[in-house]
Amino acid sequence: MRLVDPTDFQILRALSDGRRDTAANLAVIIDKDRNYLNTRLPVLADEGLIERVGPAESSGLYQITPRGVAAAQNQSLYAADRDQFETAIDEQEPLITITDPAVHQTSVSAPPSDQ
Protein backbone atom coordinates (compact mmCIF):
# COMPACT_ATOMS: atom_id res chain seq x y z
CA MET A 1 0.00 0.00 0.00
CA ARG A 2 1.38 3.38 -0.99
CA LEU A 3 0.00 6.34 0.93
CA VAL A 4 0.84 10.03 0.84
CA ASP A 5 2.00 11.02 4.31
CA PRO A 6 0.67 13.23 5.88
CA THR A 7 -2.29 14.01 3.57
CA ASP A 8 -3.84 10.53 3.40
CA PHE A 9 -3.55 10.15 7.16
CA GLN A 10 -5.13 13.58 7.66
CA ILE A 11 -8.08 12.42 5.55
CA LEU A 12 -8.37 9.21 7.56
CA ARG A 13 -8.23 11.09 10.87
CA ALA A 14 -10.89 13.53 9.65
CA LEU A 15 -13.19 10.58 8.92
CA SER A 16 -12.19 8.53 11.97
CA ASP A 17 -15.32 9.44 13.93
CA GLY A 18 -17.25 7.19 11.53
CA ARG A 19 -19.32 10.00 10.06
CA ARG A 20 -19.73 10.47 6.35
CA ASP A 21 -18.29 13.54 4.67
CA THR A 22 -17.69 15.10 1.26
CA ALA A 23 -14.47 16.10 -0.46
CA ALA A 24 -15.42 19.77 -0.10
CA ASN A 25 -15.83 19.48 3.67
CA LEU A 26 -12.70 17.39 4.07
CA ALA A 27 -10.71 19.98 2.12
CA VAL A 28 -11.75 22.64 4.62
CA ILE A 29 -11.15 20.40 7.65
CA ILE A 30 -7.58 19.46 6.66
CA ASP A 31 -6.82 22.70 4.80
CA LYS A 32 -5.99 21.08 1.45
CA ASP A 33 -7.07 21.84 -2.11
CA ARG A 34 -10.34 20.11 -2.99
CA ASN A 35 -9.07 19.10 -6.43
CA TYR A 36 -6.10 17.39 -4.80
CA LEU A 37 -8.40 15.55 -2.41
CA ASN A 38 -10.48 14.42 -5.36
CA THR A 39 -7.36 12.58 -6.59
CA ARG A 40 -6.57 11.02 -3.20
CA LEU A 41 -10.05 9.84 -2.17
CA PRO A 42 -10.37 7.27 -4.98
CA VAL A 43 -6.91 5.92 -4.12
CA LEU A 44 -7.90 5.49 -0.47
CA ALA A 45 -11.12 3.79 -1.61
CA ASP A 46 -9.15 1.43 -3.88
CA GLU A 47 -7.00 0.49 -0.87
CA GLY A 48 -10.14 -0.27 1.15
CA LEU A 49 -9.44 2.49 3.67
CA ILE A 50 -12.57 4.50 2.88
CA GLU A 51 -15.70 3.82 0.88
CA ARG A 52 -17.97 5.94 -1.21
CA VAL A 53 -21.46 5.77 0.27
CA GLY A 54 -24.91 6.77 -0.98
CA PRO A 55 -27.69 7.58 -1.06
CA ALA A 56 -26.70 8.01 -4.72
CA GLU A 57 -23.63 6.48 -6.37
CA SER A 58 -22.42 9.94 -7.36
CA SER A 59 -23.25 11.67 -4.07
CA GLY A 60 -19.59 12.15 -3.18
CA LEU A 61 -19.99 11.02 0.42
CA TYR A 62 -17.13 9.06 1.92
CA GLN A 63 -16.89 7.02 5.11
CA ILE A 64 -13.89 5.38 6.73
CA THR A 65 -13.71 1.58 6.88
CA PRO A 66 -12.34 -0.56 9.72
CA ARG A 67 -9.16 -0.94 7.64
CA GLY A 68 -8.92 2.85 7.43
CA VAL A 69 -9.31 3.23 11.20
CA ALA A 70 -6.50 0.72 11.72
CA ALA A 71 -4.31 2.58 9.21
CA ALA A 72 -4.92 5.92 10.95
CA GLN A 73 -4.02 4.38 14.31
CA ASN A 74 -0.72 3.06 12.92
CA GLN A 75 0.57 6.13 11.05
CA SER A 76 3.91 6.14 12.90
CA LEU A 77 4.45 2.50 11.96
CA TYR A 78 3.88 3.32 8.28
CA ALA A 79 6.92 5.59 8.24
CA ALA A 80 9.06 3.14 10.20
CA ASP A 81 8.23 -0.26 8.69
CA ARG A 82 5.64 -0.74 5.97
CA ASP A 83 5.57 -4.52 6.32
CA GLN A 84 4.73 -4.22 10.02
CA PHE A 85 2.19 -1.52 9.14
CA GLU A 86 0.41 -3.93 6.77
CA THR A 87 0.53 -6.72 9.37
CA ALA A 88 -0.88 -4.46 12.07
CA ILE A 89 -3.74 -3.36 9.83
CA ASP A 90 -4.55 -6.94 8.88
CA GLU A 91 -4.62 -7.94 12.56
CA GLN A 92 -6.62 -4.94 13.80
CA GLU A 93 -9.17 -4.60 11.00
CA PRO A 94 -11.42 -7.49 12.15
CA LEU A 95 -11.53 -6.00 15.66
CA ILE A 96 -12.98 -2.64 14.53
CA THR A 97 -16.67 -1.99 13.99
CA ILE A 98 -18.17 1.17 12.58
CA THR A 99 -21.80 1.95 13.26
CA ASP A 100 -23.59 4.79 11.54
CA PRO A 101 -24.01 7.77 13.81
CA ALA A 102 -27.44 7.75 15.37
CA VAL A 103 -29.70 10.52 16.56
CA HIS A 104 -31.36 10.02 19.91
CA GLN A 105 -34.26 12.18 21.02
CA THR A 106 -35.95 12.33 24.37
CA SER A 107 -39.70 12.61 24.09
CA VAL A 108 -41.21 15.83 25.29
CA SER A 109 -44.33 15.58 27.41
CA ALA A 110 -47.33 17.49 26.17
CA PRO A 111 -48.50 20.40 28.30
CA PRO A 112 -51.61 19.67 30.35
CA SER A 113 -54.82 20.58 28.56
CA ASP A 114 -57.40 22.90 30.10
CA GLN A 115 -60.68 21.17 30.75
The per-residue pLDDT for range 61-109, each reduced to its tens digit, is 999 999 999 999 999 999 899 999 999 999 999 998 887 664 444 555 5
Give the pLDDT score at 108: 56
pTM: predicted TM-score of the whole model, two decimal places: 0.82
The CATH number of domain 7-95, selected from 1.10.260.40, 3.40.50.300, 1.10.10.10, 1.10.2020.10? 1.10.10.10
**Can you say whether the dihedral through the CA atoms of 38, 30, 19, 17 is positive or negative?**
positive
Per residue in 20-70, pLDDT (tens digit) is 999 999 999 999 999 999 999 999 999 999 998 876 766 789 999 999 999
Give the SS3 label for residue 24: helix
Q: How far is CA 25 from CA 33, 37, 38, 84, 95, in A?
A: 11, 10, 12, 32, 28
Sign, CA torsion 20/25/78/43 = positive
